[in-house]
Structure 1
Amino acid sequence: MAETYFLAGAATRSITPVLGERPVFLAGFQRDRRATGVESELYVRALALRLEDRAALLVACDLIGLSRPDVDELRPALTRFGIDPQALIVTCTHTHSGPDTLGLWGPDEATCGVDLAYLTRVKQAIVEAALEALTFCCPALVRGAMARLPGYIANLRTPEVVDDELAALQFVKPDGEVIATLLNLACHPEVLVGESTLISADYAGHACAAVERAAGGTALHVSGALGGMLSPATEERTPQAAARMGQAYAEAALAALAAAPTAEVTRLELRRARLDIPLHNPLFERARDNGVLRPREPGAIVTTVSYLDLGPAQVGGTPGELLPRLGGQLKQALPGPCKVIAGLADDEIGYILPDDEFVVPADYTNPGAQYEESMSVAPDAGSRVMSAALGLIRGEQ
């Protein structure tokens, strides 16, 4: 009987926009913020995992987010290579210094900010990186660790609720050579704020570069439950500050991994579920009806959650920006010991609040303290997403 090996592979593609051909509208802050330069490159980073006839593909993009219909367009390409189309999980780092890929940050509120030619390039890059990672899979072991990154994260909504825990997974060849390192932290990549017009992967990109320099292989950052909002705790909003935060993040992750033993992966199970969330947000309704947002089905928001179990580590995928209370509940439900919350996984539906914390804004166009509510699809999105996600972990779906 042939011996079965767990396999891992990784690949990257650049998705840095070309400046000068057309305006590049930067996402995340005010509208009509046009890119004037490049602080750091943007990438698609793919991690492929295989065990027997099962596969999982985790892709991290240096983007504000991607809508589920756009992600679903990529799945048929996997079928042609004998891979289950549902094996693909596409996450976005949520950098606020990358091109608008959702539509909300164009020149005005009535105009979509997405460059369709650029979006096509991104989709091609995701498929290429995923298939290359699969092609170059090799026998691997895994080590995982949890650590803290104190002093770098603040909660702008609820200051006393901060999740500064990071997770790190490293896939290595039997001889110790690093194939890939997965980094996970709950904090908006927005050291560079709205005054900046530079394209940047922010602290997340700097962290990946630092890990690759120190350890080799490919590094990818997956954003956790960064709603709330969890933001960099720095008054200095410069590329240098982003680099320092990225370096600190990388060093904390690598130090934790250095103390972690390697283990064999004998389980590779990926489950997912779809759910409907009735849309109750007049801003989103108007943007969808006017063609500002990327196209979706009419009616309720159809989205997805996922659960990847590797034995010593798990990845819980959610379709937007969980507030940290919900992130803590989801993390607690993961069996561990290494627990990864993958936010903005396969979709971006905005902030996902606990139902009991949701206060309907009196004016969605001027929400004040209810900013997160004004950027959420519905008051009950939290309970719907959490019910589906926890059901996957418990094996109920």
Structure 2
Amino acid sequence: MSMVRALVIAGLAVAMTSLAGAALAESLRVGAVKADITPTDLTALNPMGGGDFARVHDPIFARALYLESGATRAAIVSLDLIEVGDMTPLRERIAREVGVPVEGVMITATHDHSAPRIGEVSPGALAHPGGSESRAYTAIVYDKIVASLKAAKAGARPARYGVSRGQVDVSVNRDVYSAKGWSLGFNPDGPSDKTLWVAQFVEPSGKPIAILFNYAVHNVVTIGANEVAGDLSGVAQKYVEDGLGQGAVALWTMGAAGDQDPRVFPHIGKTAGAAERALAYRAADAQGVMVGAEVLRVARAMDDLSGTARLAVEAREVSCPTKKGVAQMDDMTAVAVPEVKLRLGLVLLGDAALTSVSGEVVTNIYARLRAESPLSDTVMITLANDRIGYIPDDAAYDRPIFEVNGAPVARGCAENAVVGGLVEMIDRNLHRAE
């Protein structure tokens, strides 16, 4: 047995695990709130290359979903941001002030590259650290998240829900090999999962409350415009909210998009003129509408919504040996430590598993999770509760691709920790509910 493999097994055995218990199927209550988090001061908030955003193109938001079944409570927060750092302090605050246990809180970013980041970089994570301006903005966003969850809890009402899936083709594998070696590009023959997951919540009357959806693509269409914008995820969320009306909230969560770029990606730079920026926004609009339209189609086709739900939550941390990132952006840094924490989470909603991972997971790891999970409806929410960097599958380490170069975790740890850990969590909570 290799040293790394032994560390994985040991890590899984001693990992910090929190359980809030699994409720038997009881009446479901749901609340959802949307809050504007557009920064008013753009100084030093652009994490992609550093510096200031030039202007605001369109607003960005925090969207909070509160779930309650019996004594079990969960919260999922989607932020129109590039990434979140270690969310442990905020999750602990939410536990104190809102009453949702730490293990029941998932805070994720849409990976919008035309937006700031929040939170502190975890030791060992390869990320874009922020300065004092980022910390000030983080404090503002934290307050808005807590206020949103308080309001969502106060406004929670009886709900029916359903989980289903569709397909939309706006992503493509980006790892390309040529005579010059490996680079980022357009690889339609590479692994790419087009699944679009949709979880819908409505009042007993049918009035929409919220939709949570999940798709695997990088939100980079407008990167380089140097403007705050929602990118394709922002377009998709707005399209769904406008389509549903009645104050419904639509939350985008990113799937295993570590190796996935948008099919239409203009690659504009900071010197781009108005015409080039306009084309990028048209590309974001087109692809966002495609995703949003499929979300609405899937939601409207659901005809078997349930008013009761078995709800369970769990969280786990696994330590993996670190490796040094190479060939990354100059402003991406990592604190040199022997191990980095990988954060895993689970919200079990009936027969659907909403899992979470604190990094940018590639397609092959999610494919393995779906194959090994006891539930056919198994969703992976990435960039949740932290962002440590890329998480490639073990076989990928044979190639010097971008995701391997940007991985802070040594080969032989993360794939088994993610798949094995999440499957174990799902199994345990299913059995506890029996």
TM over 0.5: yes
1:128 maps to: 147
One-letter code of the match for 2:150? Answer: L
Distance 1:378 1:200 in 2: 31
Cα–Cα, structure 1 residues 59 and 265, in superposed 2: closer, same or farther, change >3 Å?
same
Describe the SS at the equivalent of 1:393: helix
For residues 141-195 of structure 1, the C-alpha deviation after alignment (integer angstroms, 9 at most, x for no partner) is: 0122211102x211111632111110111100000000001111000011113x3
Matched, 1:18 2:35: no
Q: 1:110 to 1:254 in 2, by over 3 A?
A: closer
Q: Mapping of 1:170-249 within 5 angstroms?
A: 170-193=200-223, 195-216=224-245, 217-228=248-259, 230-236=260-266, 238-249=280-291
Shift of 1:95: 0.9
Which residue does 1:165 correspond to in 2? 195
Deviation at 1:300, TM superposition (A): 1.7
The alpha-carbon distance between structure 1 residues 134 and 389, as it changes in their structure 2 partners (threshold 3 A), is same
Closer, same or farther in 2 for the Cα pair 1:102/1:281, shift >3 Å? farther
Rounded Cα–Cα distance in structure 1 between residues aligned with 2:293 and 2:94: 37
- The aligned amino acid for 1:9 is G
More strand by share: 2
> Which residue identity lines up with residue 417 of structure 2 in the other structure?
R
Name the counterpart of 1:276. 319
Corresponding residue number in structure 2 for 1:6: 28
Aligned residues of 2:357 and 2:384 also touching (Cα < 8 A): yes
**Aligned pairs (5 A) from 1:373-392:** 373-380=404-411, 381-392=414-425
Take 1:144 and 1:276, find their aligned partners in 2: how far apart are those partners?
A: 32
Q: CA RMSD in A?
A: 3.0
1:61-94 C-alpha deviation (Å, 9 max, x unpaired)? 11111122x4434323422444323221111111
Q: 1:85-121: per-residue Cα shift (whole Å, max 9, x none)?
A: 32211111111111143789xxxx9994342101111
Higher relative contact order (CA 8 A, sep 6+): 2
- Shift, 1:341, TM fit: 1.3
Residue in structure 1 matched with residue 297 of structure 2 by the alignment: 255
Quote the residue 2:3 is aligned against.
none
1:102-141 to 2 correspondences below 5 Å: 112-114=129-131, 115-141=134-160
Contact 2:32 2:63 in 1 (8 A): yes
State the identity %.
Answer: 24
**Alpha-carbon distance in 2 for matches of 1:75, 1:132:** 18
Contact 2:314 2:346 in 1 (8 A): yes
- In structure 2, what is the equivalent of residue 265 of structure 1? 308
Q: TM-score, normalised by structure 2?
A: 0.78
| Residue 370 of structure 2: aligned partner | 331
Amino acid at match of 2:227: L
Question: CA offsets, 1:249-288, max 9 Å, x none?
Answer: 111111112111212332001122111012211569xx9x
Q: Which of 392, 397, 401 is matched with 1:353 structurally?
A: 392
Deviation of 1:24 after TM superposition, in Å, equals 2.5
Q: Which deviates the most, 184-193 or 387-396?
A: 387-396
Contact 2:397–2:404 (CA under 8 A) maintained in structure 1: yes
Q: Which residue number corresponds to residue 101 of structure 1?
A: 118
1:48 pairs with one of 53, 63, 66: 66
Amino acid at match of 1:303: L
- Classify 1:36/1:53 alpha carbon distance in 2 versus 1 (closer, same or farther; 3 Å): same
Moved over 6 A (4+): none
Q: Supply the distance in 1 between the matched residues of 2:83 and 2:222 (Cα, whole angstroms).
A: 17
3-state SS of paired residue (1:40)? coil
Aligned counterparts of 1:110 and 1:208: Cα–Cα separation in 2: 26
Q: 1:35 to 1:320 in 2, by over 3 A?
A: same
- SS across alignment from 2:83: coil
Structure 2 residue runs without a partner (length 5+):
1-24, 177-186, 267-278
Output the CA distance in 1 between the equivalents of 2:336 and 2:146: 24
Alignment CA distance shift 1:255-1:337 (3 Å): farther
**Superposition TM-score, scaled by structure 1 size:** 0.85
The residue type equivalent to 2:159 in the other structure is A
**Separation in structure 1 between the aligned mates of residue 93 and residue 45 of structure 2, nearest angstrom:** 29
Cα shift at 1:53: 0.7
CA–CA distance in structure 2, aligned partners of residues 49 and 59 of structure 1 = 11
* Matched position secondary structure for 2:314: strand
Partner of 1:143: 162
Contact 1:168 1:257 survives alignment (8 Å): yes
Q: Does 1:307 align with 2:346?
A: yes
The superposition leaves residues 282-325 of structure 1 with CA deviations (integer Å, 9 ceiling, x where unpaired) of: 569xx9xx9966xx895421231012111142201111111101
Label 1:165 to 1:154 Cα distance change in 2 as closer, same or farther (>3 A): same
Could you tell me which amino acid in structure 2 is paired with residue 391 of structure 1? E
The whole-number CA distance in structure 2 between the counterparts of 1:111 and 1:96 is 12
Instruction: Report the number of matched residues.
Output: 371
* Letter of the structure 1 residue corresponding to residue 158 of structure 2: P
Question: Cα distance, 1:33 vs. partner?
Answer: 5.2
Q: Secondary structure at the match of 1:250?
A: helix
- Match of 1:156? 174
State the match for 1:363 in structure 2: none
